[in-house]
Amino acid sequence: MTERLRVAVLAGGPSAEHEVSLESGQAVLDQLSKDRYDPVLVVIDRQGTWSQNLHRDTVDVVFPALHGPYGESGVVQGHLETLGLPYVGCGVLASAVGMDKAAMRRAFVAEDLPVTPHVWFTEHGWRTTTDRWGLVKSLAWPMFVKPANLGSSIGISRVTSMAELDAAVELALGYDRVIVVEQGIAARELACGVLGDYDTAEASAIVELNVDGVWFDYEAKYHGDTDFATIPAPIPDPIAEEVRELSLQAYRAIGGYGLSRVDFLYEEQTGRLYVLEVNTMPGFTSHSVYARGWAASGLPYPQLLDRLIELALARSAA
């Protein structure tokens, strides 16, 4: 019998997405084939302490089911590289760019990808300006205020006035010192999974996120009572093909490897698509759409994990 691969599944971490990461990590642990793998859950607490130290003698490959700063930002990826450990997902650079919404949009613009009108500024710029309206006046209401380095809709607000903008920026500054403000667009929300290496990656079935309210917030993502996803998304074939192609372009724009989920706005009246962001370690919970999109494409969750681990080992061996 072939010796099972020792897989360390990292979960938790100091970011505001700690709880979501724990759910993702447990789901990965449950779905890994016990015939092929010897998995162990390694929990990182909110202070950054690991429940188990990793090195080449104790683990063959690492699955960092971590979301947000610290875990998805390239920090852990760099640490694993210093240990010489193969790991699932994007490398240091792609993780860092994918985590920072301002840097990510600069990469998109450089590759001529369609993005929503937006601005970004630092906490210092916000505190010292005498004209806060001047920072966002190029945008129309409503606007979405976001911490640049966070996910799962945490710290995000939809605003329709300067009073609301002030409060929203203060909320976002509680999570990050760089703020991104996007112009709201009346559009359908789509997502597409990407799997593979930089040159030969593939795109999954497209998912539509059915928003019950004005936008898809944290509560709807993780605690909603109804299934929020329609798979495959009921959109015209040419739009679906464009989503897949733009997903691969966005993936390559940040130097992706392994996996990502690319989020879109689809303005149905005009037929325009906008690339919102690339998530380099999308959720793997029972609600999460990345694995569900690939299941709809003929790649069930356990086999998806097999493929991700194969990609991690292939990169390490190159």
Flag whether pLDDT at 172 surpasses 80: yes
For 205, list phi and psi in degrees, rounded to 5.
-60, 150
Cα–Cα dist 81/110, whole Å: 28
Query: pLDDT band at residue 225, thresholds of 50, 70 and 90?
Result: low
pTM for the model stands at 0.92
Cα–Cα dist 101/103, whole Å: 6
Flag whether pLDDT at 218 surpasses 70: no
Catalytically active residues are 17, 152, 222, 261, 263, 277, 279, 283
Q: How confident is the model over 183-200, as pLDDT tens digits?
A: 999 999 999 999 999 999
Residue 78 has which token pair?
A: 């760099």
Residue 277 has which token pair?
A: 């962001």
Q: What percent of the chain stands above pLDDT 90?
A: 87
3-state SS class at 238: helix
Flag whether pLDDT at 211 surpasses 80: no
Most confident of 46-60, 146-160, 253-267: 253-267
For residue 155, CA distances in Å to 31, 110, 112 come to: 31, 27, 28
Domains in the chain: ranges and CATH: 5-88 (3.40.50.20), 97-115+186-317 (3.30.470.20), 118-183 (3.30.1490.20)
